[in-house]
């Protein structure tokens, strides 16, 4: 199985599927279909049924039940796209066999080094087979590892019909990285009683809590005047933006928070004297603290409007997704099922809150409860991304155990 999953993963990551938040289409980039069609062909080759790839790049398929027992239909989901933070084109993965626990030179010419000095968890992977980048692109384990794991699991079940299982639905989606993965997902067609996303990181991660999330776009209209004659006339949108940012609590920035602590994160600022725009993401696991953070942002803008005028500073505040715990805790047995599956595989479950979002959070509010399982990738979204092949193997084993336990109930 190790070689099979590695071969799949290496093929998938070489296909550029980077999404684009500036696009108004679904998928946001046509190249996501390049991978979708490869996976569609592979699903047909395996012998799955009810395979469908729609015009918005949602790919679904079925492994039919092979038992006479009434068994819940389980879904497994992963996403095609890679993040915008770094290029997903021309990925040149490299395999590091029997990793020695020390520095890995990703790119000798540019002296880009993956080192446990910066990433101490690397030492825990000593002796394993790692897939790394060449230091110029991301790897794409987020979430092509999840795709490879799901496909490998259903392929294994298809080839081993003696393993009894209920109906399995799988789905692969576009645009998760830009928050649109569930925009056109058809829950009724998917037809799962519950599901799991394979989109987590390190081995053992089991997540059913995520941030509540909002996006704040602040537009600033300044007034540019020759600096020699600017007294009492100029409104510098750069300085207004800096002043507004100073009203938000410093200790609630991402670099000062962890665990369940939320934050205000400025992700983009484009400004000149004449005009500017600032984009923030607002995050908190606690719903009340989340709402309080939105109120604080609104009050900061209102203060600036009072100082400079309502036409000078404007706020667009939009909720993006909510903490899936509010839904999943109604049926904690699906979390316990995944936990048991990990323990049988010899994996210690790490039940931790996601300091981010997941398609599963939106799906849980759409009617299909959907915790998140580890896929194995580390240091997502950048040139230091890597994945141990052994973790991918364990992920497949966990998927198979979930399916087996569910059929035995």
Where do we find the tokens 């109120």? 295
Write out the two tokens for 138: 């991301």
Active site residue 54: no
**Residue among 82, 87, 54 nearest 145 (CA):** 82
Catalytic residue among 16, 40, 81, 177: 81
Active site residue 81: yes
**For residue 361, how many other CB atoms are within 10 A of its CB?**
32
Catalytic residue among 16, 40, 143, 176: 176
Active site members: 81, 176
């Amino acid at each position: 199985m190790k070689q099979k999953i590695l071969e799949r993963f290496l093929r998938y990551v070489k296909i550029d599927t980077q999404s684009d938040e500036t696009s108004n289409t679904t998928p946001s980039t046509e190249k996501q279909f390049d991978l979708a069609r490869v996976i569609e062909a592979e699903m047909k080759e395996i012998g799955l049924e009810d395979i469908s790839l729609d015009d918005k790049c949602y790919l679904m398929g079925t492994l039919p039940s092979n038992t006479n027992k009434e068994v819940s239909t389980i879904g497994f989901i992963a996403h095609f796209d890679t993040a915008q933070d770094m290029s997903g084109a021309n990925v040149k993965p490299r395999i590091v066999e029997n990793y020695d626990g020390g520095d890995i030179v990703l790119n000798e010419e540019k002296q880009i080094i993956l080192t446990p000095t910066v990433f101490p968890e690397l030492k825990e992977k000593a002796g394993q087979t790692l897939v790394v980048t060449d230091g110029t692109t991301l790897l794409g384990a987020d979430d092509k590892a999840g795709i490879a794991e799901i496909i490998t699991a259903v392929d294994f079940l298809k080839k081993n019909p003696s393993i009894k299982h209920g109906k399995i639905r799988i789905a692969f989606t576009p645009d998760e990285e830009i928050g649109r993965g569930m925009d056109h997902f058809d829950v009724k067609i998917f037809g799962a009683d519950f599901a799991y996303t394979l989109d987590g990181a390190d081995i053992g991660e089991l997540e059913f809590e995520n941030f509540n999330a909002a996006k704040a776009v602040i537009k600033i209209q300044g007034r540019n005047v020759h600096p020699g004659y600017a007294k009492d006339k100029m409104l510098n949108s750069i300085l207004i933006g800096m002043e507004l940012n100073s009203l938000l609590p410093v200790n609630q920035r991402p670099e000062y928070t962890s665990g369940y602590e939320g934050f205000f994160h400025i992700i983009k600022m484009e400004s000149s004297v004449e005009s500017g725009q600032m984009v923030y993401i607002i995050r908190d696991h606690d719903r009340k603290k989340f709402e309080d953070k939105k109120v604080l942002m609104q009050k900061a803008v209102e203060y600036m409007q009072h100082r400079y005028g309502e036409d000078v500073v404007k706020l667009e505040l939009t909720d993006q997704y909510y903490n899936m715990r509010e839904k999943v805790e109604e049926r904690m047995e699906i979390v316990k099922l995944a936990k048991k599956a990990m323990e049988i595989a010899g994996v210690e479950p790490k039940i931790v809150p996601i300091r981010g979002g997941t398609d599963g959070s939106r799906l849980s509010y759409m009617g299909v409860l959907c915790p998140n399982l580890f896929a194995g990738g580390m240091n997502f979204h950048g040139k230091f991304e890597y994945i141990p092949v052994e973790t991918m193997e364990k992920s497949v084993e966990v998927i198979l155990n979930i399916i087996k336990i569910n059929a035995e109930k």
